[in-house]
Structure 1
């Protein structure tokens, strides 16, 4: 396993390759990407007022209950108010929500599934990655650092019948950075789409990513420091797996032995998502991991 010292930089974004990595740049990029790719209000435009009232009152009620039970002071309240303002100014709401809230939403949204378990998307997904067919090497720089990894897999339905589908893969590099969210990295580095034939089989060559810290020089980092938490995420591969007539699966796949599998800052690790890589004679690694997709709800 690649060793990563605790000085590993966190994935960040910058407007140009010559930019300086910062949490603010990463946050701004993640916020812009969210606005570009999501249409959240269209999906809930017909939500009854009663539902909005219920959710808003219960969330606010939980806040009020915390204040009363723990006798929150005005100084603490004003510190929270200033921090919330700074989260918005830093553009870190996507990071905050994806790290500390999304895992609960994902659990609720997918608890009916009998196929593969999913996990959070996180803030660094970018649609439209290069199409590479059922067997290929993900785009990477010459001399890309990290242990070579070959992933063999198959897409099926929940009865085991093969599905013609697609695996979108993206992940951080060996230093913990994501392309399009860090300066100096080619646009589609370590991002690719692999479409299968009718047999559902795919083979992907990539590198094994490293653990990394989420950005800590912005408002989320201030919360982590104030609470005495750590900022580490275990090494992981991000995937979106799709096939016509079946539910989209979004997941993260992890590696055994990572010290932060048990205390992931994003609470996104599940036992079913841990891979079993094998070391080959040349020092590279190989892994087999298949996907069973649930049918779309009628």
Structure 2
């Protein structure tokens, strides 16, 4: 097979549409723009010694070399890879690719010292400064928002048991069609995004809807990789949270629901047993769940 044929075969694979009018390209562009606006990746590592950069770069390249040698990578495959990498950039899907396939290992290393709650990946769709709802409130949503109503209660405390008054719980999640506000068209700006500041007793009560499982965008470069490799694109239903309090480490997590068929094969490898909720059916078409957070103090 020629290089052009290899590239063409990868590009011609049909990906499954995730529904609606949202596209991977539009979502990817939004994620890239948001990352560039909200993050300061180079500023945070500007004082990194050259020796550290040298070590990391050589380790990554060494792994690539090992793969080439061990798998006898051909020029056709190499050129197809170059074409795909170029297209990932054009699609704006680097945040999606790195968050889905790489971030879970970075998160695991970064938080392995913690004694409090387990966390997991942030993903590409976080937006800061969601509307404040107080200690008890309903997340912003459309009238008649699809999904089973969910009441979530919990407390935020420190590892020594002290309740953390004024701690903030930021919540965001996809709608019943698997779309996130600000990353898909036709959805109100802050739909299913809210901030909840706990009371003096560390308690909160949040009213939202139970999200559904969804596929990550598949009509762009990441979808072509998924199809070419014979993978699936599904993520289990989940709630995203960031929990913060003065003097404590920020906790980023996703909370999952029991019985989801993709808890065991999440494409983002982000599910941990400690993050699976125990919802209770209230018998009136609603569900409730109690799940709190224990934060680690910042190490001096």
TM bracket (short chain): over 0.9
Matched with 1:283 is 285
Matched with 1:234 is 236
Q: CA RMSD in A?
A: 1.1
Q: Distance in 1 between matches of 2:67 and 2:153?
A: 48
The alpha carbon displacement at 1:281 in A equals: 2.4
Whether the 8 Å contact between 1:156 and 1:200 is mirrored in structure 2 is yes
Matched with 2:260 is 258
Matched with 1:143 is 144
Whether the 8 Å contact between 2:17 and 2:218 is mirrored in structure 1 is no
The alpha carbon displacement at 1:283 in A equals: 1.6
1:26 corresponds to 2:35: no
Matched with 1:95 is 96
Q: Distance in 2 between matches of 1:221 and 1:8?
A: 10
TM-score, structure 2 normalization: 0.93
| Counterpart selection for 2:222 from 220, 223, 227 | 220
Deviations 1:164-202 (A, max 9, x none): 201000000011110001111000000000001221100
What does residue range 30-179 of structure 1 map to in structure 2 within 5 Å?
30-164=31-165, 165-179=167-181
Whether the 8 Å contact between 2:226 and 2:232 is mirrored in structure 1 is yes
1:207 corresponds to 2:216: no
SS at match of 1:88: helix
Q: Distance in 2 between matches of 1:9 and 1:21?
A: 8
Q: Distance in 1 between matches of 2:22 and 2:173?
A: 18
Deviations 1:262-293 (A, max 9, x none): 00000000000000000002120000001000
TM-score, structure 1 normalization: 0.94
Q: Distance in 2 between matches of 1:184 and 1:26?
A: 13
SS at match of 1:226: helix
| Counterpart selection for 1:273 from 272, 275, 286 | 275
Q: Distance in 2 between matches of 1:199 and 1:32?
A: 38
Which consecutive unaligned segments of at least 5 residues does structure 2 have?
Answer: 1-15
Question: Between Structure 1 and Structure 2, how many residues are aligned?
Answer: 284
1:9 corresponds to 2:18: yes
- Displaced runs of 4 or more, over 6 A: none
Q: Distance in 2 between matches of 1:253 and 1:159?
A: 23
SS at match of 2:97: helix
Which consecutive unaligned segments of at least 5 residues does structure 1 have?
Answer: 1-6, 13-19
Deviations 1:140-185 (A, max 9, x none): 0000000000000000001221002010000000111100011110
